[in-house]
Amino acid sequence: MSKATSIYDALVAKVIATLPTYIELPESYSVEENPTYLMTKAFAVGFLSETNNEYHATNLLNFEREFSVVLVNKIAATINSRSERAAIEKALIEDAYTLIKALCNDLTLGQVASLTSYQGQTGIEYITSANGTERFISVVLTIAIKYQDTF
């Protein structure tokens, strides 16, 4: 198993431990393709780009990979109820910050990584289910994780 996949597993475990009411989605890259019954309160972790700062003299590869963490909540309010929609939006943002704080308190993801760094997040985005019948909100966090491997 590579370090990248171990880090992925550690990141998923961190989300599960931090946000226990969230369900992991099977589709990380096209969130709207997931079954709607799973998306009431859900998350997905995806692999993003990676860079390699080679240090051949030390026999180490120094990688930095970005991961996306998508948090999704169902919109259970009518379009006319701004206060209910605002409450759902604020709850999603609070959950995102709870996860960010948990990552900042475990910068090595249990000694799997060298350094975990929160890079930023999208604003709230609206998602419509694949069949067009339900609406959700999401936010995508970008996490950069540095790690080393030998060759």
What's the pLDDT tens digit per position in 39-92? 999 999 999 999 887 766 677 788 999 999 999 999 986 677 888 889 999 999
pLDDT in tens, 113-138: 999 999 999 999 999 988 888 899 99
Residue 133 carries which DSSP code?
A: S
Task: Assign domain 3-150 one CATH number from 2.120.10.70, 3.30.450.40, 3.30.2000.10, 3.30.1360.200.
Answer: 3.30.2000.10
- Residues in CB range of 74: below 8 A, 6 or more apart: 39, 40, 41, 134, 135, 136
Q: Could you tell me the sign of the dihedral formed by the alpha carbons of 89, 41, 103, 54, in that order?
A: negative
Q: How far apart are CA 85 and CA 45, in angstroms?
A: 25
Band of pLDDT at residue 147, cut at 50, 70 and 90: very high
**Per-domain boundaries in the chain:** 3-150
Q: Identify the pLDDT of residue 122.
A: 95
Residues 37-60 as b or e (16 or more Cβ within 10 Å = b): eebebbbbbeeeeeeeeeeeeeee
Cα–Cα distance, 13 to 90 (Å, whole number): 24
Q: Which of 69, 117, 73 is nearest to 91 (CA)?
A: 73
Give this prediction's pTM.
0.92
Q: What is the pLDDT of residue 125?
A: 95
Give the tokens for residue 25. 């989605």
How far is it, in rounded angstroms, from Cα 30 to Cα 121?
17
